Structure 1
Amino acid sequence: MTATDFEGLLRELAPQVLGTLVRRYGRFEGCEDAVQEAVLAAAVQWSAEGVPESPRGWLVTVASRRLVDQVRSDRARREREWAMAAEVVPEEVPGTDDTLVLLFLCCHPTLTAASRTALTLRAVGGLTTAEIARAFLVPEATMAARISRAKQRIRAAGSRFVLPVGAEREEQLRVVLHVLYLIFNEGYIASSGSELHRADLAREAIRLTRTVHEQLPGDSEVTGLLALMLLTHARREARATASGDLVPLDEQDRSKWDRALLGEGMALVRASLADPALGPYQLQAAIAATHADAATAAETDWSQVHALYLVLERIAPNPMVTLNRAIALAETEGPAAGLALLAALDEDGRLAGHHRLLSVRAHLLERSGDLAGAFAHYRRAAKATASLAEQRHLEFRAARVRARQSRP
């Protein structure tokens, strides 16, 4: 088993083990800590001795013992039990995957929207507290305290480990989908570090979304989100060079796109659009499908892309949606039209100084012939992103523009 397979196994099993413990003991906060301890123990012992015959049972056994330690608060007993953990025969554990129930528990109605998202990313998605803090633009200590308070609130609420029903279920499902969307985005474009993407995290988001889709196959937004993830993930092999440099969509070798994922994603898009009530994930999936339909970048139906963004902007207004619409508008009406739309975003402080806004403006300025402005904005965008892969790409663009400026 490779290191990637090993990490993927632990990432897949952790929420299942947590679900088993919460169902058995009903102590979410303590169970989450116990599972983390068990995963750490597995990372050390399995890498040295190999994966046990029943890895899930092993984790449940060790996590259960850790939970008993917490309850008893007996240090000597804890050390003896941990010493015995590797020798004990794994417990028989139910084959039921409680990941969906766990997702809903992390989106408990007593929590704020931010706390629901943070706790789900931590307990089910496997993101570190530091990664979640970057997503929310807050200090790591603040996020750690928020996650801790969320677990305490769930315990104080006496919540039951069951799926909600009715309107409560619909409300919490929307939060669950948003969390899965965030997890996938962090995997698709890592917010920081030297790697362009984290395929393991993207795969985990897809796995969790498949779990939700299997349970709720008639929900068009669930179907749309899964379709969006598959169509986007299908491009992963073409998104970077062998050295890890970013390759923009219009420059990608489309023969490298995963045809199996594209086919599955396109079928899901068609199924999701059969519902006359369109949601944001269905529309984003339709946009991704329009790009996938084009054999080359030049054949992209930008008019359709722009029309879909207009609808999306109307039902789910967001500055990032407007930013993407500006790109489509520039393709249909020229860079000046796109720049005019970007000017409206300058009044919205939510994107102020964001590297994405700076890089799109740089691209449109370059297309319009304003090379000095393009160079300045590419450099500003490079400094504004924490992703080294994106930095290198933006610096390359800036250097290319500078070279054009120096030509006679």
Structure 2
Amino acid sequence: MTQDDLRVTTLGERRVPSPVEHRLFTPDNARVLLEVDSVEGAEPSALGSAATDAKPLAAAPLMFEKAGPREHVYFDPRKSKAAVVTCGGLCPGLNNVIRHLYFALRDGYGVPTVYGVRNGYLGLTPEAPQPPMELTADWVEAIHHQGGTMLGTSRGHQDPAVMVETLVQLGVNLFFPVGGDGTQRGAHAIAKEAARRGVDLAIVGIPKTIDNDILYCFQTFGFVSAVTEAERVIDRAHVEAKSVPRGVGLVKLMGRNAGFIAAGATVASGEVNFCLVPEHPFELEGPRGFLAKLERRLEARGHAVIVVAEGAGQGLMDGLDPTAVDASGNRRLGDIGLLLKERISSYFDGIGKPVGMKYFDPSYYIRSVQANATDSLLTERFARQAAHAAMAGKTDLFVGYWNGRIVHVPLAASVGKPRHMAPESELWSAVQSITGQMRW
């Protein structure tokens, strides 16, 4: 990667004085380091890792453009129209984003019209079940107290040319797609189509996924709320497991490609004995396999709590088509939760030591709750900075949370490259320490 890969596209020269009511404007050359860690006496490398010696490096460290209000904006707010769309799976905080974005544009900049596109990107096609609606202050006033998205959502591929044409017909020049990697891939395609047509359209994405797996966004909104709810389920599984002889509480959580929710809830609960995630393949059979480890745990302590992410153990599935995908283009997964439930029960029945199995699958529950205070604060930051970026004529980017700052991340630098939990990360080290799963 080079600094050019992190360069943000701007539609043109900004000449309109900003109407924003504070004067702490962010200069366009403000930057946030990609990597803040270093080694004393050494310069940070251009690839974002700490240098291992004190030799000077020819390349400068990589940096993101810092988000924030610019002193001059590209669009005249009084002549602008905006649209926001929510796509993909549900996530705590979607309604908060809609609400904060509306007020940032209407009250902060004076944009007279903000549309809500209903039912995801499908709402920008002729097949839309409902046309885009004009948002009002009364409509958004209390939506942040509800889970889900009041605009609705959908999955699936739509033609970028058709979507750009719909936005042009609506007179929209500020467009805010809220969603995960698939949504941002769609946003990138829309940005390229708008550029091809020469349309003055700022596309600024807001990253959303409870899996927390978007590259160059340290934390997405909804993640903490989901972990909080998952912790409660784990605690109930622990109660069930301790209440019967050889009790096993098995909890399956979301996490298609990354185990951040499973790991975060494991650490938050402190009651988990085995945490299984996509980043760490495991075997079921053999003396060092999972079933043997679980047997030793039950012999020693009499109960066990297991947390498994939905994307873990996919190599254990028989007859799984590795090329099968869903409507969003994601690989179809086998149900690791049900597989473990069956294999654990049959294994212990086979050795004459049956277990008291309790199985929990709270996937849709944890993503449907309303945002907690932590995520509510993050949604406000994302929405406000997205409004600033779009008004400044920035496009083909999303606003990411990086090293404690909100930054502009070019979509091409992130989409299609999901973030994973590194084996040497502090979070995974905490999981290993709390569960002790490597010792069994």
Which bin holds the TM-score, normalised by the shorter protein?
under 0.3
What's the TM-score once normalised by structure 2's chain length? 0.24
What's the TM-score once normalised by structure 1's chain length? 0.25
Greater fraction helix: 1
Higher relative contact order (CA 8 A, sep 6+): 2
Greater fraction strand: 2
